Structure 1
């Protein structure tokens, strides 16, 4: 288990229980108490938790696991999903990308598409995004034109949200919207935990000719707080091979093209 995987696990335990004891965490993660103490000290320095005698408690601020600590979850699956979604992007197209770990993998796959490089003579792509980390990664790619929405940044997801984020999206047309979600269900549609993110994702989807949802199998058959769009507004769902056939069949019956990668 890497350091970031341990940090991710510790923060999840803390979110679940509200309090964490060093010895308990060491047993659950199968590492030494000294390692857990160092991890807790480093997380406390980043203000992710508050250290106590013998452990830690959840920080007093609103608790949500930041994007940088989620990247280790299902990384191979997300990379395959990202590559498959990037393969749907045609040269010269305009693509909307929201924030999240899976869409970040989509952005990285687009960024390394050799057939989109200017040296091949093919037109590049335009990426419209509300995700600061995606814009930061792609702005150095010569074949990618980056358009960033306005808005207020959420530290947890690096996404720009709020009324200031809608101005750009209302003025553009997208060939493709590739949307990461917190949950997707064949009846309830695509949903997000945060209503501000859901609102921007919904607007992005409405501006696109085709909507692609990227979601690993752990998000299927679930419903989060705020709706992004109905199932009949989704053209393609890209998930991983661990997705149960019973679940994916329901999306197919609803008219969604399902890609399991």
Structure 2
């Protein structure tokens, strides 16, 4: 397992348990206790946790896992979701909008073989990946950068999105529920995502099964703004049924 993936899993455990122990982490992740201690020291230097004797505790409340540590979480499911999302686009789509996130990053990677495609994004990591692709016409929104998500957000990004028309927006979110709709952790990010939704004729939400039934702090939109949702086959059938009863088309990628 890559160190980056280990760090993400350590933070994910802290997010749910508030404390972790070195021996338990070493057993769970299949590495030495010395490696875990080095990981914890690195995360403490980044002020993401506080070391204790034999482990670590969360520094405050970890509401949002930094983007750089999300790659190893549900990776197979995210790749399968991305594959289905690109297949669902069809051949006549000329422009696609992508916000930031680990699942939309996989969508961007799945788009690289498409020709004559314009991609609009506010995600710096996605822009970096696609900028070298001569078959992709890349449009990047301006805005203020969020270190947690690598997204450009705020009035400049929203001004760009308000003045363009996109065939399909593919949106990653932190929570999808019948009652709360689409949600994320940060209110400014939610507002920029809302602008991306409004610029698109069709909206596809990509969210792995861990996001279903959850609600984040900031609301992006009601489910009525969404054309379809693509998730994975690990989703709770009750969550899928509730979303379908609300009128949403739901597709499940096989992992």
Stretches of structure 2 lacking an aligned partner (at least 5 in a row): none
Corresponding position of 2:103? 102
Corresponding position of 2:197? 205
**Cα drift, residue 247 of structure 1:** 2.0
In structure 2, the CA distance between the partners of 1:146 and 1:21, relative to structure 1 (3 Å rule), is: same
- For residues 229 and 62 of structure 1, what CA distance do their matches in structure 2 show? 24
Corresponding position of 1:214? 206
- For residues 124 and 73 of structure 2, what CA distance do their matches in structure 1 show? 21
Aligned 8 A contact 2:63 2:185 in 1: no
Aligned length: 252
- For residues 216 and 42 of structure 2, what CA distance do their matches in structure 1 show? 31
Aligned 8 A contact 1:92 1:126 in 2: no
- Map of 1:30-69 to 2, 5 A cutoff? 31-46=31-46, 48-49=48-49, 51=51, 55-56=55-56, 58=58, 64-69=64-69
- Map of 1:146-185 to 2, 5 A cutoff? 146-185=138-177
How much is the aligned-residue C-alpha RMSD, in angstroms? 2.4
- For residues 21 and 180 of structure 2, what CA distance do their matches in structure 1 show? 39
Corresponding position of 1:143? 135
Corresponding position of 1:249? 241
Stretches of structure 1 lacking an aligned partner (at least 5 in a row): 117-123
Aligned 8 A contact 2:93 2:167 in 1: no
Secondary structure of residue in 1 paired with 2:111: helix
- For residues 111 and 68 of structure 1, what CA distance do their matches in structure 2 show? 21
In structure 2, the CA distance between the partners of 1:254 and 1:20, relative to structure 1 (3 Å rule), is: closer
- For residues 233 and 223 of structure 2, what CA distance do their matches in structure 1 show? 20
User: 1:79-138: CA deviations, max 9, x gaps?
Assistant: 01111112233355111100000000000000134xx2xxxxxxx111111100000001
In structure 2, the CA distance between the partners of 1:194 and 1:256, relative to structure 1 (3 Å rule), is: same
The answer to whether residue 4 in structure 2 is matched with residue 12 in structure 1 is no
- For residues 141 and 179 of structure 2, what CA distance do their matches in structure 1 show? 30
- For residues 39 and 81 of structure 1, what CA distance do their matches in structure 2 show? 30
- For residues 40 and 224 of structure 2, what CA distance do their matches in structure 1 show? 45
Equivalent residue for 1:260, pick from 220, 241, 252: 252
**Cα drift, residue 4 of structure 1:** 2.6
Corresponding position of 2:72? 72
TM-score normalised according to structure 1 size: 0.86
TM-score normalised according to structure 2 size: 0.88
Secondary structure of residue in 1 paired with 2:100: coil
Following TM superposition, where does structure 1 have runs of at least 4 consecutive aligned residues deviating by more than 6 angstroms?
Answer: 60-63
Deviates more, 1:60-69 or 1:181-190: 60-69
Larger Rg: 1
Corresponding position of 2:222? 230
